[in-house]
Amino acid sequence: MIPERKAARELIAFYLDAGVDAFLGEEPINRMADDLSRPLNAIAAALEPRTRRPASESPLALAQSPLRQKPTPGSSPPPPEAAVMAAREAARNAKTLDELQALLATFEGCALRATATQLVFADGDPQSRVMFVGEAPGYDEDIVGRPFIGRSGKLLDRMMAAIGLDRTSAYIANVVPWRPPGNRTPTPQETAICLPFIRRQIELADPDILVCLGGPAMQTLLGIKDGITRSRGRWFSYQTGRREIRALATFHPAFLLRSPLQKRFAWRDFLALKKALVTLPAIRSQT
């Protein structure tokens, strides 16, 4: 094999072993550099080989109206505060879950949209009495476009089945609806930008019970500072904007796959969920 090709193969194998599974651009970008001209130059360079664009689509115009343009891999995302405000506005405008999904599908304020294959909005029945919310989609969910369909999703299915639930009697979503590259943890900014959408999704689905899967979903949605080990199994209240509902946090199925001994605690939480579904007055008619 030609030495350069062999070296390139070895480098790619090294990246894959290190967990890198997405290439975002040809040139590395120092995102720590506080220099406005660099992203503009990077955008300009990215646009260079293509046909000339009208002035309204110049790199400067794109940077000044960042929410209107799908971010190109390698370009800098819009300022987080502007994106959070745009997210709040968009989420408020959605009158139904279908509208919310359509708005999210075209929302350009979160840079994860540029690297994800597609939006992973929800699975299950939004009319259900119980809604499960995880952190963010992984590799399998990104390919298929439905939450919790990989290994941890299979475990979630088994845990739901143990208390008589399945995807026709539960609704499932994530705080962040796009897969972060390489399954990394979403940044606080990405989570803040996506928060108005998941809050609106919960409000529109209007479940009787919200179940946060894992610490990040619990901390984001319930505003709890403690870790999941201390907080799981306890009931909290969650204000949907329409009414107060009950909320429970439990271990994330991905954590349970790594720490099977903890399944006994998750089992207790699911039994508590089952009991609550039986004893709580049903606003929802199903289950």
Footprint of ligand URA (CB under 6 A):
134-138, 141, 147-148, 150, 152-153, 174, 254
CB 110 within 8 A of CB 77: yes
Q: What is the smallest separation between the CB atom of 137 and ligand URA, expressed in angstroms?
A: 4
Give the residue with the Cβ less far from ligand URA, 108 or 157. 157
Residue (83 or 149) nearer to ligand URA, CB? 149
Min dist CB 162 to ligand URA, Å, is 19
Q: How far is the CB of 88 from ligand URA (least distance, A)?
A: 23
Minimum CB–partner distance for residue 91 and ligand URA (Å): 20
Question: Which residue is closest to ligand URA by CB?
Answer: 134
Here the tokens at position 66 are 């960042």
Q: Which is nearer to ligand URA, 136 or 273 (CB)?
A: 136
Alpha carbon 190 to its chain centroid, in Å, reads 9
Residue 247 CB, shortest distance to ligand URA, in Å, is 17
Helix 80-93 vs helix 97-106: angle between axes, to the nearest 10 degrees? 150
* DSSP per-residue codes, 116-180: SSS----EE-TTSSEEEEES---HHHHHHSSSS-SHHHHHHHHHHHHTT--TTS-EEEESS-SPP
CB of 116 vs ligand URA, minimal distance in Å: 12
Nearer to ligand URA (CB atom), residue 100 or residue 212 = 212
DSSP E strand stretches across the chain: 123-124, 130-134, 171-174, 209-213, 235-239, 244-250
* Nearest one of 285, 102, 100 to 207, comparing CA atoms: 285
Choice between 152 and 250, CB closer to ligand URA: 152
* Strand-strand pairing, 130-134 and 209-213: parallel
Which residue number, 100 or 172, has a Cβ lying nearer to ligand URA? Answer: 172
